[in-house]
Structure 1
C-alpha cells in the first residue's frame, strides 16, 4: 500500500479521507455510543475500564491527558481520584456528549478540548499520564500519535492504552469474530439505525495489530518498560510504557 493510501476498515481510502470518514462514524454513533458498548460487550466494557483505571493509578493533583476521551467514561473515573484530566477528542460531537454527562455529576477537575492525536497542541512535557481507550485503532497514523503521546508526557510519565486485539484462547477468538461480523452490525442497525458505522468498527478491530506487534510500536515511539496485559485471552489488552 502506498503512503497516500490507508485502511478504513476493509476499504482502502486516501490518507486524507480516512479522518473525515472516521469523524462521520463517531458523529453518527455519539448519542448511542455507551448503550452500544453495553450491548456489544454484555456490559463487560465497564469492568475493563475499571481495571484500566486501576492500572493507571491516577493520583490527586496530577495532570492526565485522556485522548479520544469522547463521552468521558475513563475521565470521570480518573477525576474522581483527584487527577486533573484534560478530555480530548478529534470529534466535537463525542465531546459534547461527555460534557453533557459531566453536568449531572459532582464538580470534577475536568477540561474539554478538541484535539487531533497526531498533532497535539500541548507543549512538551505537559502531562503526568496519557490514556487512550478504544481510540488508537481509529487514528490514521498510529506511530505519529504514539510519538505525540511521548512528546507531551513529562519525564517519568506513563502511557496507557486500552484496545481490542485478537484473543489467543483456542476457539474463543474465532467465535468472537463470527459474533462480531454477524451480530454487531445488525444490533447497530436496530439500536442506532446505523449498520455501516458498526461494520467499520468491527473491521477496525479485526485489522488492529496483535498485542506483541502493538507493544513494539509503543517501544518504537520511545517508551520503555513496555508491557501488555491481555483480557479474555487478548480480546482486549491494556498496553503501557514509560517515558524516561
Structure 2
C-alpha cells in the first residue's frame, strides 16, 4: 500500500476517529495526542529542524508574510506551541495590538510562554480547545494554526470556531503538512516511516510519538479537501500554496461577513 495516497481515504467507524493509522474512540484521541506532546515538548523545535531539515522555518516565514499583520491588529495563534508565530505577530502588531498564544497542551504552552518571556514579550496565553474557543464572535483580524489542525478530533468544528471568532474581512491561515507530489512519494514514505521514528528514538527518546506524527500526516486531508473544508466553515477567497512540492501547504480563507 502506498501510504502517501491511500491511508487518508479510510473513514473511521462511527464514534471513532484516527490516531495515526489506528482507530480509537473519539473520547480517547485528545488524551493520546496530549500524551504525545507532553512527551516531545522540550525537544519540539529541535525535532522540527531534524524532521524538516530546517524548512519549517521557511514555511513559517512565508505564513507570517501572508498574514500581513499591521499595528493594532488582534491575532489568535491556535495550537501555537513554542510560540514561533505568536512572537513574530506580536512584533508586527506592536503595543496597540493584541496577540494570543493558545494551545490545548499545557506542556507545549509552557515552553512557548517561557520563550516569549525570554524575548521580552508578555503576551496573553490560554490553554484551550480549538473546537470550543473562549473568545467572542468577530474578535480577531487574523487567526492562525500551524501544524496543529491534523491533531484535532473534529477538524470541521475547529475550523467553524476559527471562522466564528474572525472579524468580517479577517483571514484564517492554516499551515500544515499535506499531500506530497507523487514523484516524491516513495522517498517521502521511506523518510517518514524509517528515518523519522529513528530520529525520534535517538534524539527525542520517543520513537512511538514520532511514528504517530508521521502517520497523522498521512491521515490529514489533502489540499483540495481542506480547501473545501474552509469553504464549508463559511470562508471565502480560499486558496492554498504548496510548499516544498506539497510536503506542507498554507491554506488561506477570508471571512467576508
- TM norm structure 1: 0.97
Q: Quick one: distance in 1 between partners of 2:63 and 2:28?
A: 32
Q: How does 1:135-150 map to 2 (within 5 A)?
A: 135-150=148-163
> CA contact under 8 A between 1:173 and 1:235: conserved in structure 2?
no
Q: Structure 1 runs of 4+ off > 2 angstroms?
A: none
Partner of 1:231: 243
**C-alpha deviation, 1:37, in angstroms:** 0.2
**C-alpha deviation, 1:88, in angstroms:** 0.6
> CA contact under 8 A between 2:87 and 2:121: conserved in structure 1?
no
Partner of 1:25: 36
Q: How does 1:1-244 map to 2 (within 5 A)?
A: 1-82=12-93, 83-107=97-121, 110-168=123-181, 170-244=182-256
Partner of 2:3: none
> CA deviation digits over 1:143-175, x for unaligned, max 9?
00000001111111110000001112x421321
**C-alpha deviation, 1:3, in angstroms:** 2.9
Number of aligned positions between the proteins: 242
Q: Quick one: distance in 1 between partners of 2:185 and 2:64?
A: 25
**C-alpha deviation, 1:2, in angstroms:** 3.1
Q: Quick one: distance in 1 between partners of 2:28 and 2:121?
A: 38
User: Secondary structure of the equivalent of 1:66?
Assistant: strand
> CA deviation digits over 1:74-103, x for unaligned, max 9?
111111112421001000110000111112
**C-alpha deviation, 1:106, in angstroms:** 2.8
**C-alpha deviation, 1:235, in angstroms:** 1.1
Return 183-192 or 77-86, whichever deviates more.
77-86
- TM norm structure 2: 0.92
User: Secondary structure of the equivalent of 1:80?
Assistant: helix
CA RMSD in angstroms, aligned pairs only: 1.0
Return 133-142 or 72-81, whichever deviates more.
72-81
